[in-house]
Amino acid sequence: MSNGAPFVIKICGLSTPETLRTALDGGADMVGFVFHPKSPRFITPQRAAELATIARGKAEIAALIVDWDERQAAELVEALKPDWLQLHGHETPEQTAALRRAAGRPVMKALGIAAADDLKAITAYRDVADRILLDAKPPKDAAYPGGHGRPFDWTLLAGLDPAQPFMLGGGLDPANVTEAIRIARPAGVDVSSGVESAPGVKDPARIAEFIAAARMAAAAVQEGSTA
Protein backbone atom coordinates (compact mmCIF):
# COMPACT_ATOMS: atom_id res chain seq x y z
CA MET A 1 0.00 0.00 0.00
CA SER A 2 1.48 3.31 -1.11
CA ASN A 3 1.69 5.98 1.57
CA GLY A 4 -0.76 8.77 0.87
CA ALA A 5 -2.28 7.17 -2.25
CA PRO A 6 -6.07 6.87 -2.28
CA PHE A 7 -7.24 3.34 -1.53
CA VAL A 8 -9.51 2.00 -4.29
CA ILE A 9 -12.60 -0.09 -3.56
CA LYS A 10 -14.11 -1.70 -6.65
CA ILE A 11 -17.46 -3.49 -6.83
CA CYS A 12 -17.55 -5.64 -9.96
CA GLY A 13 -20.28 -7.46 -11.84
CA LEU A 14 -23.04 -4.95 -11.16
CA SER A 15 -26.17 -5.27 -13.27
CA THR A 16 -29.07 -3.40 -11.64
CA PRO A 17 -29.69 0.26 -10.79
CA GLU A 18 -30.47 -0.64 -7.17
CA THR A 19 -27.21 -2.42 -6.40
CA LEU A 20 -25.22 0.10 -8.40
CA ARG A 21 -26.67 2.92 -6.31
CA THR A 22 -25.86 0.98 -3.13
CA ALA A 23 -22.23 0.75 -4.24
CA LEU A 24 -22.12 4.44 -5.09
CA ASP A 25 -23.87 5.52 -1.89
CA GLY A 26 -21.48 3.35 0.11
CA GLY A 27 -18.50 5.14 -1.37
CA ALA A 28 -17.18 2.69 -3.98
CA ASP A 29 -14.38 4.28 -6.00
CA MET A 30 -14.86 2.05 -9.02
CA VAL A 31 -17.71 -0.05 -10.42
CA GLY A 32 -17.31 -2.85 -12.94
CA PHE A 33 -19.47 -4.27 -15.70
CA VAL A 34 -18.76 -7.75 -17.06
CA PHE A 35 -18.88 -8.42 -20.81
CA HIS A 36 -17.92 -12.11 -20.79
CA PRO A 37 -21.00 -14.08 -21.98
CA LYS A 38 -20.20 -17.17 -19.90
CA SER A 39 -20.24 -15.20 -16.65
CA PRO A 40 -23.43 -15.06 -14.55
CA ARG A 41 -22.69 -11.33 -14.26
CA PHE A 42 -22.74 -10.69 -18.01
CA ILE A 43 -24.59 -7.65 -19.30
CA THR A 44 -24.80 -6.15 -22.78
CA PRO A 45 -22.98 -2.95 -23.69
CA GLN A 46 -26.36 -1.29 -24.15
CA ARG A 47 -27.46 -2.20 -20.63
CA ALA A 48 -24.11 -1.14 -19.21
CA ALA A 49 -24.36 2.23 -20.97
CA GLU A 50 -27.71 2.83 -19.24
CA LEU A 51 -26.20 1.99 -15.85
CA ALA A 52 -23.15 4.11 -16.59
CA THR A 53 -25.32 7.22 -16.65
CA ILE A 54 -25.99 6.60 -12.94
CA ALA A 55 -22.34 6.06 -12.06
CA ARG A 56 -20.59 8.61 -14.21
CA GLY A 57 -18.99 11.34 -12.16
CA LYS A 58 -19.52 9.41 -8.93
CA ALA A 59 -17.15 6.48 -9.46
CA GLU A 60 -14.78 5.26 -12.14
CA ILE A 61 -16.27 2.75 -14.57
CA ALA A 62 -14.39 -0.42 -15.51
CA ALA A 63 -15.30 -2.67 -18.42
CA LEU A 64 -14.24 -6.29 -17.86
CA ILE A 65 -13.38 -8.14 -21.06
CA VAL A 66 -11.83 -11.53 -21.77
CA ASP A 67 -9.49 -12.10 -24.74
CA TRP A 68 -11.03 -9.44 -26.99
CA ASP A 69 -9.33 -7.99 -30.04
CA GLU A 70 -8.60 -4.31 -30.59
CA ARG A 71 -11.67 -3.71 -32.75
CA GLN A 72 -14.04 -5.12 -30.12
CA ALA A 73 -12.38 -3.07 -27.40
CA ALA A 74 -12.56 0.14 -29.40
CA GLU A 75 -16.25 -0.43 -30.19
CA LEU A 76 -17.03 -1.03 -26.52
CA VAL A 77 -15.24 2.15 -25.49
CA GLU A 78 -17.23 4.09 -28.08
CA ALA A 79 -20.53 2.69 -26.73
CA LEU A 80 -19.80 2.78 -22.99
CA LYS A 81 -17.04 5.37 -22.53
CA PRO A 82 -15.54 3.54 -19.54
CA ASP A 83 -12.67 4.93 -17.51
CA TRP A 84 -10.84 1.60 -17.50
CA LEU A 85 -10.56 -1.64 -19.43
CA GLN A 86 -10.10 -4.65 -17.16
CA LEU A 87 -8.42 -7.52 -18.99
CA HIS A 88 -9.32 -10.82 -17.40
CA GLY A 89 -8.23 -13.37 -19.98
CA HIS A 90 -4.96 -14.72 -21.36
CA GLU A 91 -3.88 -11.43 -22.89
CA THR A 92 -0.11 -11.32 -23.42
CA PRO A 93 1.88 -8.20 -22.56
CA GLU A 94 1.91 -7.36 -26.27
CA GLN A 95 -1.86 -7.76 -26.55
CA THR A 96 -2.33 -5.72 -23.39
CA ALA A 97 -0.35 -2.86 -24.91
CA ALA A 98 -2.28 -3.14 -28.20
CA LEU A 99 -5.65 -3.05 -26.44
CA ARG A 100 -4.56 -0.04 -24.43
CA ARG A 101 -3.61 1.81 -27.61
CA ALA A 102 -6.75 0.80 -29.51
CA ALA A 103 -9.11 1.73 -26.68
CA GLY A 104 -7.36 4.89 -25.61
CA ARG A 105 -8.04 3.96 -22.01
CA PRO A 106 -5.90 2.82 -19.10
CA VAL A 107 -5.95 -0.93 -18.56
CA MET A 108 -6.04 -3.10 -15.48
CA LYS A 109 -4.58 -6.56 -16.09
CA ALA A 110 -5.77 -9.42 -13.90
CA LEU A 111 -3.19 -12.08 -13.08
CA GLY A 112 -4.25 -15.39 -11.55
CA ILE A 113 -2.28 -16.34 -8.44
CA ALA A 114 -2.07 -19.76 -6.82
CA ALA A 115 1.65 -20.13 -6.05
CA ALA A 116 4.69 -17.92 -5.62
CA ASP A 117 5.85 -18.57 -9.20
CA ASP A 118 2.69 -16.91 -10.52
CA LEU A 119 3.95 -13.58 -9.21
CA LYS A 120 6.74 -13.55 -11.81
CA ALA A 121 4.19 -12.43 -14.40
CA ILE A 122 3.95 -9.02 -12.71
CA THR A 123 7.29 -7.99 -14.21
CA ALA A 124 6.12 -8.71 -17.76
CA TYR A 125 3.02 -6.53 -17.40
CA ARG A 126 4.43 -3.75 -15.26
CA ASP A 127 5.22 -1.44 -18.17
CA VAL A 128 2.13 -2.15 -20.32
CA ALA A 129 -0.68 -2.16 -17.75
CA ASP A 130 -1.69 0.89 -15.74
CA ARG A 131 -2.78 -1.28 -12.84
CA ILE A 132 -2.23 -4.90 -11.82
CA LEU A 133 -5.03 -6.96 -10.22
CA LEU A 134 -3.82 -10.04 -8.37
CA ASP A 135 -6.74 -12.47 -8.43
CA ALA A 136 -7.21 -16.09 -7.44
CA LYS A 137 -6.60 -18.57 -10.24
CA PRO A 138 -9.92 -20.07 -11.34
CA PRO A 139 -10.58 -23.82 -11.08
CA LYS A 140 -9.24 -25.73 -14.09
CA ASP A 141 -12.74 -26.57 -15.33
CA ALA A 142 -14.11 -23.03 -14.85
CA ALA A 143 -16.21 -21.55 -17.66
CA TYR A 144 -15.18 -18.00 -16.77
CA PRO A 145 -12.02 -16.52 -15.25
CA GLY A 146 -13.15 -14.68 -12.11
CA GLY A 147 -15.88 -14.44 -9.50
CA HIS A 148 -15.51 -17.93 -8.04
CA GLY A 149 -15.30 -16.86 -4.41
CA ARG A 150 -11.98 -18.55 -3.68
CA PRO A 151 -9.16 -16.57 -2.08
CA PHE A 152 -5.51 -17.40 -2.56
CA ASP A 153 -2.78 -17.39 0.10
CA TRP A 154 -2.22 -13.67 0.73
CA THR A 155 1.07 -14.33 2.52
CA LEU A 156 2.54 -15.12 -0.91
CA LEU A 157 2.60 -11.36 -1.49
CA ALA A 158 4.91 -10.60 1.44
CA GLY A 159 7.98 -10.48 -0.78
CA LEU A 160 6.61 -8.09 -3.39
CA ASP A 161 8.33 -4.80 -4.01
CA PRO A 162 6.47 -2.26 -1.81
CA ALA A 163 6.83 0.27 -4.63
CA GLN A 164 4.74 -1.96 -6.95
CA PRO A 165 1.09 -1.07 -6.28
CA PHE A 166 -1.55 -3.68 -7.01
CA MET A 167 -5.21 -4.36 -6.40
CA LEU A 168 -6.31 -7.54 -4.67
CA GLY A 169 -9.20 -9.75 -5.73
CA GLY A 170 -10.31 -13.34 -5.48
CA GLY A 171 -12.63 -14.62 -2.79
CA LEU A 172 -12.89 -11.39 -0.81
CA ASP A 173 -16.02 -10.80 1.24
CA PRO A 174 -17.16 -8.64 4.17
CA ALA A 175 -15.83 -11.19 6.68
CA ASN A 176 -12.28 -11.56 5.34
CA VAL A 177 -11.45 -8.26 3.66
CA THR A 178 -10.00 -6.75 6.83
CA GLU A 179 -7.53 -9.61 7.21
CA ALA A 180 -6.73 -9.56 3.49
CA ILE A 181 -5.83 -5.87 3.59
CA ARG A 182 -3.78 -6.30 6.76
CA ILE A 183 -1.71 -9.12 5.25
CA ALA A 184 -1.44 -8.13 1.59
CA ARG A 185 -1.40 -4.32 1.93
CA PRO A 186 -2.86 -3.72 -1.53
CA ALA A 187 -3.56 -0.36 -3.15
CA GLY A 188 -7.18 -1.43 -3.54
CA VAL A 189 -9.61 -4.35 -3.45
CA ASP A 190 -11.96 -5.81 -6.04
CA VAL A 191 -15.03 -7.85 -5.06
CA SER A 192 -17.77 -9.59 -7.00
CA SER A 193 -19.12 -12.93 -5.75
CA GLY A 194 -18.32 -12.00 -2.14
CA VAL A 195 -21.17 -9.48 -2.10
CA GLU A 196 -23.77 -11.75 -3.71
CA SER A 197 -26.65 -13.84 -2.40
CA ALA A 198 -26.45 -16.09 -5.50
CA PRO A 199 -24.21 -16.09 -8.59
CA GLY A 200 -24.78 -12.79 -10.34
CA VAL A 201 -27.25 -11.50 -7.73
CA LYS A 202 -25.70 -8.66 -5.74
CA ASP A 203 -26.79 -8.19 -2.12
CA PRO A 204 -27.09 -4.50 -1.15
CA ALA A 205 -26.41 -5.20 2.53
CA ARG A 206 -23.23 -7.14 1.74
CA ILE A 207 -22.04 -4.42 -0.63
CA ALA A 208 -22.43 -1.77 2.07
CA GLU A 209 -20.79 -3.99 4.69
CA PHE A 210 -17.85 -4.78 2.42
CA ILE A 211 -17.15 -1.15 1.56
CA ALA A 212 -17.31 -0.08 5.19
CA ALA A 213 -15.00 -2.89 6.33
CA ALA A 214 -12.49 -2.30 3.53
CA ARG A 215 -12.40 1.45 4.12
CA MET A 216 -11.77 0.98 7.85
CA ALA A 217 -9.08 -1.65 7.29
CA ALA A 218 -7.28 0.45 4.71
CA ALA A 219 -7.30 3.45 7.04
CA ALA A 220 -5.85 1.36 9.85
CA VAL A 221 -3.02 0.07 7.65
CA GLN A 222 -2.32 3.56 6.30
CA GLU A 223 -2.17 5.00 9.80
CA GLY A 224 0.16 2.21 10.90
CA SER A 225 2.52 2.75 7.98
CA THR A 226 2.76 6.48 8.57
CA ALA A 227 3.02 6.37 12.36
Other C-beta atoms lying within 10 Å of the C-beta of residue 95: 18
- Show me where the domains of the chain are located: 8-226
The pLDDT, as a whole number, for residue 147 is 47
Query: What CA–CA distance (Å, rounded) separates 212 from 204?
Result: 12
Query: What CA–CA distance (Å, rounded) separates 166 from 116?
Result: 16
Question: Regarding the domain with residue range 8-226, which homologous superfamily does it belong to in the CATH classification?
Answer: Aldolase class I (3.20.20.70)
Backbone angles phi, psi at 178, to 5 degrees: -65, -45
Burial 183-210 (b: 16+ CB within 10 A, else e): bbbbbbbbbbbbbbeeebebbbebbbbb
SS3 of residue 208 by DSSP: helix
Burial class (CB within 10 angstroms; exposed 0-12, middle 13-18, buried 19+) of 226: exposed
Local confidence pLDDT in tens for the 227 residues of the chain = 655 679 999 999 999 999 999 999 999 999 999 999 999 999 999 999 999 999 999 999 999 999 999 999 999 999 999 999 999 999 999 999 999 999 999 999 999 999 999 999 999 999 999 999 999 987 665 555 554 467 999 999 988 887 889 999 999 999 999 999 999 999 999 999 999 999 999 999 999 999 999 999 999 998 887 55
The pLDDT, as a whole number, for residue 141 is 59
Q: What is the pTM of this model?
A: 0.92
SS3 of residue 203 by DSSP: coil
The pLDDT, as a whole number, for residue 143 is 53
The pLDDT, as a whole number, for residue 3 is 54
Catalytic residues: 12, 135
> How far lies 103's CA from each of 30, 128, 139, in Å?
19, 13, 30
